[in-house]
Chain A
Amino acid sequence: MLFRYLFILLILLPLKAFALIEVDITRGNLSPLPVAVSPLSIDNESKNNFKKILKKEDLGSAISAVVENNLRQSGLFNPLDKNAFLQKADIANLKPRFEDWNLIKAQALITGKVTFVDEKLRVEFRLWDVLAGKEMMALAFTTVPSNWRRVGHIITDKVYERLTGEKGYFDTRIIYVSENGPKTNRIKKLAIMDQDGFNSKFLTLGNELVLTPRFSPTNQMVTYLSYFRNLPRVYLLDIETGLQEVVGDFPGMTFAPRFSPDGKKIIMSFAQDGNSDIYTMDLENRIVERITNHPSIDTSPSYSPDAKYITFNSDRSGYQQIYVMNSNGKNVKRISFGNGLYGTPVWSPRGDLIAFTKLHKGKFYIGVMRTDGTGERLLTENFYQEAPSWSPNGRVLIFYRETKTNSKGEGFSAKLWSIDLTGYNEKMVETETDASDPSWSSLLSN
């Protein structure tokens, strides 16, 4: 009898052992992660050497400032005030006192060291998990000293990827149309800059009107619209050599160019006799292929990242709307059905969304929708804004916005703006002049 009781009890026993309380955590905060970016430590000899070459007082602090600025601009991180730091940079790089960093509420810490080795810049950096008290990442880079800003961007990319799970977008450049002068007589030049607005330079002289520059996925080529014999034509420009050429020998106007994901083709619109269709041109053998054949205006083509599909806008339904088709022009489907006009569709590098400009009741919106047209979200609204371009990780959109002129025709400006995919963190991107038609490059250090 006793054994029978014991047997039953032993069977029932695990019931309590496994009655572990489970709590489902399905929400969190989206506030920026507090990060401490400690100045990179630098010895006196290296400091003096870099001072002679770069005219920088403290290169370690300058690089950490680049990282700090990038992280802040992303909107996902909150770099803490350096005045609150309790540990010195050179000691923190060796072994951080996590209690000190915990005290100022830092959840991650970036430390590092800068040295001058064989006329080159060598940067070590470490990323620490303050709460876990462990090192998350350690890398070192060696480059020519003039590349110091890029080192800062690459460090940010690594930190961003380690902490958010997606690739960064900091070691990138933006090409845009620089604008000067009164609205009626604007001088437009092609310009290129780092994504944070530094290292800006002009690529054209401003003799001809330039529009819609687009980066090649290889980053060395740019395609854009300019005028050739008084006709708008698509051009190719090699950034490194400065050589440019007209794309194809079309009898009419070509516009809205964009590269295919492998960089081997250009897709664009060709207009003749009031009708415009989409064409591609192979850059190797110069073979031109017609993709759409419809009596309506088909324009603004953009490939999906896998190059299987093309999105474009067309007025074939009577109003300008967004369509998706196979890359051979078959199976055309309309995907935008909201009120208003839709234009400039751009496929996300992630492949899941299409960004667009929408005009509705006199206002311009930048928005995103899924590739089947569902889930339309308008991210920002303004008097005039258009031409969204994706960051290489598909997290941020850059576009340009124009302001109204007053009754005297003054006050006009065009500026670049960026916004996060979530609709938060809308920021103006600093440029030396007025700017429009931005295009974001892919990561320079893949």
Chain B
Amino acid sequence: MNRNITISFVLHTLLVIITAMSLPFLAKKPIDLPPIVSVELIQISDKTNIPFAPKAKKIIEKIKEKEKKLVSEQAPPKMVKKEKEDAIPLPDEKIEKIKKIKEKKQNPEKVETEIKQVSEFEKKELFDTSSIAALIDKSKVESAKTDKKLDKITQDQDKSIDFGGLSLSEEDALKAQIFGCWSIPLGLPYNENLLVRIKLQLKPDGSIMKSEILDHARMNRPGQGFYKVLAESALRAVKLCQPLRVPSSGYEKWKELQLNFDAREMLEG
């Protein structure tokens, strides 16, 4: 028994020595490697990450962050003096009462419902709950096939994957169009936080199905005359510009669009 163990030990030792002797790195000198140069790989995408106007972008982001604050920081509503048009011209008792523009109060419930509708719509588009169990079972059986399919992304899949915005050229085309349509009210103060956000629902041809000022309630608040003027000018611009220059494909992506109008960069000069 001891003899067998000894023979085995000797033979194994021999094997190790022979193997070690034959390894090349022991025989050769280490290679003089040049210093490592790191290379950063950047994935080229056609999605824009470049803010169009860095200054304006910053301002807009700032406003968005401070939006809640701004509401609370608003000066208390001024006592609006009765207009005295008739003070110098003689007052006319029979004058028709000034027709008030009906306040289209934003209905928060309505907005919520709309958001829900959007969610429901998206849910249907993405997932069919009744078939999820079947899909899971199938995936086990057809795993090999699925691997192959991954290379070929169909249009439907693309729709659900590409949540991103418009491409640089698409966004630029849209901006350029609206720039041309928007007559900026020059009397607006440049040092006030005036940002008008308009949500649009578009038809496939770029014409407007529905436009909604997101802070609509602010328009009719006392002391918000400047905001109202800006909001109306933005709405005019959108209506004047339609049909908007939207991409010919990917309707699902841009059928709802939010435009943020901010004139301060231009008013500041």
Q: Is the CB of A23 within 8 A of B260?
A: yes
Q: Is B165 an interface residue (CB 8 A)?
A: yes
| Interface 9-mer from A14-22, A40-48, A199-207, A403-411 | A14-22
The one of B53, B171, B232 that contacts A27, using a Cβ cutoff of 8 Å:
B53
Closest to A75 in B: B186
| Contact between chains at A141 and B266 (CB < 8 Å) | no
Report whether B175 and A23 are in contact in the complex, using a CB–CB cutoff of 8 Å: yes
Interface residues of A in 16-41 (CB under 8 A from B): 16-17, 19-33
Interface string of B31-53 (1 = CB under 8 A from A): 00000000000000000000111
B141 in the interface, Cβ–Cβ < 8 Å?
A: no
User: Are the C-beta atoms of A422 and B232 separated by less than 8 Å?
Assistant: no
Please report which residues of chain A, range 134-163, place their CB below 8 angstroms from some CB of chain B when the two chains form the complex. Answer: 134-144, 147, 150-151, 154, 158, 160-163
Assess the A154–B85 pair: CB atoms within 8 A: yes
Q: 1/0 per residue A90-126: CB within 8 Å of B?
A: 0000000000000000010000000001001010100
Shortest distance from the beta carbon of B266 to any chain A beta carbon, whole Å: 6
Contact between chains at A124 and B119 (CB < 8 Å):
no
Contact B96 A166 (CB under 8 A): no
Chain B residues with CB under 8 Å of A162's CB are 229
Contacting pair A25 B262 (CB below 8 A): yes
Q: How far is the CB of A67 from the nearest CB of chain B, in Å?
A: 14
Classify chain B's interface size: 35 or more
Which of the candidate stretches A5-13, A176-184, A321-329, A337-345 sits at the interface with the other chain?
Answer: A5-13
B119 proximity list for chain A (CB < 8 A): 13-14, 17
A13 lies within 8 A of B89 (CB): no
Q: Which of B86, B92, B133 neighbours the largest number of chain A CB atoms within 10 Å of its CB?
A: B92
Known contacts A6-B132, A132-B236, A158-B85; decide if A26 and B53 are in contact (CB<8 Å). Answer: yes
In this complex, what residue of A is CB-closest to B118?
A17
Q: How large is the interface on A (under 10, 10 to 19, 20 to 34, 35 or more residues)?
A: 35 or more
In the bound complex, do residue B88 and residue A143 qualify as a contact, i.e. CB atoms below 8 Å apart? yes
Give per-residue flags for B61-100: 1 if the beta carbon is below 8 A from chain A beta carbons, else 0.
0000000000000000000000111111111101110110
> Are B258 and A21 in touch, CB under 8 angstroms?
yes
Asked whether B163 lies within 8 Å of A26 as measured between CB atoms, the reply is: no
Q: Is the CB of B127 within 8 A of A9?
A: yes
Chain B 165-199 near chain A by CB (<8 Å), digits 1 or 0: 11000010011001111111111100000000001
Contact of B136 among A2, A20, A160 (CB under 8 A): A2
- Chain A residue contacts of B133, Cβ below 8 A: 2
Interface contacts (Cβ under 8 Å), in number, total 195
The verdict on B253 contacting chain A, using a C-beta distance below 8 Å, is yes
Is B154's CB within 8 Å of the partner chain A?
no
Instruction: Compute how far the CA of A15 lies from the CA of B225 in the bound complex, rounded to whole angstroms.
Output: 36
The answer to the question of B220 belonging to the interface, with a C-beta cut-off of 8 Å to chain A, is no
Among the listed B132, B225, B260, which residue makes an inter-chain contact with A24, where contact means beta carbons less than 8 Å apart? Answer: B260
Q: Whole-angstrom distance from the CB of A131 to the nearest CB of chain B?
A: 4
Q: Which of A20, A29, A154 contacts B179 (CB 8 A)?
A: A29
Q: In the complex, what residues of A have CB within 8 A of residue B132's CB?
A: 2, 5-6
Assess the A24–B56 pair: CB atoms within 8 A.
yes
Chain A residues contacting B56 (CB-CB under 8 Å) are 24, 26
Say yes or no: A445 contacts B236, CB within 8 Å: no
**B185 and A163 within 8 A (CB):** yes
A164 in the interface, Cβ–Cβ < 8 Å?
A: yes
26 CB < 8 A contacts A-B: A5-B136, A16-B122, A17-B118, A20-B256, A20-B258, A21-B253, A21-B257, A23-B174, A25-B178, A26-B53, A26-B263, A27-B265, A28-B182, A28-B266, A29-B184, A107-B236, A117-B94, A124-B95, A129-B232, A131-B239, A141-B92, A164-B186, A164-B187, A166-B188, A395-B186, A445-B88
The 3 closest A-B pairs by CB, nearest first: A166-B187, A143-B89, A28-B182
Extra A-B contacts (4), CB below 8 Å, given A13-B119, A13-B123, A395-B187: A26-B263, A27-B53, A28-B183, A135-B101
